[in-house]
Amino acid sequence: MKHINVSDSMPGSYEHYFLGDFHFFVIGHPTNKVKRLIRKICSKKNATVSIGGDVIDGMQLQDPRFKLGQYSGKFERAEAQVHEAVKVLEPLTGRVKWVLHGNHELRVWNIMDVAKKIARQLQCTCYEEDLTYNDKVHSVMQIKADFGSCRVLNGHWEWYVNSWANDDYICYENERRSLKKRLCKVGGVDDCEVAVAHHIHKIHAIPPSSPQFMKTVSKHERLKAVYPTPTKKWIDQKRGLYYYDRDDRWYGSSGGFMPSYVEGFSTYAERKGYKPTEMGCVKMVVKNDKLVGLEGVIM
């Protein structure tokens, strides 16, 4: 896992958006929603982003899910998808802190390094390099970033968090518990206040499950639940070694922009029976060098 420090470039208050799973340019792709989200981010002075993989869909002929016509016209070729995706993402130039590989980028690994192309075009702080061991190149799909005010674990793991319970509320809670359980088992998460997963195509922002504090918000004269800032548990203070209890962290999944159902066309998501999902992302909010938490951004 690569470790980076971006604290020098971060102000005291900011929003960081975890973008990913765009899947440009499948039939019915909501490109206008992506552009609207990008405009929203660019309208904010202190908003940064990271890109967590699956920027392009990139299905090749050898993939059993490939279907002729699933990309509109000129976007059948992966190179064309990357070229057009960069055009859409270009307004984010200078705001991108890192770019990760997704499993769909790996499907075209023999053709091009998609993440590297995107990172260079968007002038990002860090490009997730490859690791070589046992004489093989393996793409690293996770990163740990120190923002100064908090530390984040971000990755593109090939997980699914589904529940087939009869009750919608129970399904929702089961998915959130499953996501938290999986993220708690990832190596390197122990000293992070925030852990965010891509690939899941669902928007979740799970707060610490430690007791909430109630305080009066004077402006509105009402009570509001305030989640406590995660507290470090020191292992060796001299060496700077610490951890957080699993219930003191924020956990999230970053959503996506791939349509499950398209009128008049049978997508592979539809053929596999995937549930419809909300489109958007999650963002991390920091105010006055203190972590406020994660929030879902639904488009």
Give the H or E element holding residue 242.
strand 241-243
Q: Looking at the predicted structure, is the pLDDT value of residue 234 above 80?
A: no
Point out the least confidently predicted range of 209-218, 222-231, 232-241. 209-218
pLDDT of residue 123: 86
User: Rounded to an integer, what distance in angstroms lies between the CA atom of residue 154 and that of residue 141?
Assistant: 9
Chain segment 249-264, per-residue pLDDT in tens: 999 999 999 887 877 7
Chain segment 126-160, per-residue pLDDT in tens: 766 554 444 445 556 889 999 988 999 999 988 88
Q: Looking at the predicted structure, is the pLDDT value of residue 75 above 60?
A: no
Q: Looking at the predicted structure, is the pLDDT value of residue 70 above 70?
A: no
User: Rounded to an integer, what distance in angstroms lies between the CA atom of residue 24 and that of residue 21?
Assistant: 9
Tell which wins on pLDDT, 214 or 153.
Answer: 153
Structure tokens at 97: 């802190």
- Determine the straight-line distance between the first and last CA of the chain, rounded to whole angstroms: 31
pLDDT of residue 284: 96
Tell me the domain boundaries of the chain. 2-213+247-298
- The yes/no answer on whether domain 2-213+247-298 falls in CATH 3.60.21.10 is yes
Residue with tokens 């604290």: 7
CB 146 within 8 A of CB 194: no
Within 10 Å of residue 228's Cβ, how many Cβ atoms? 12
* Predicted model pTM: 0.86
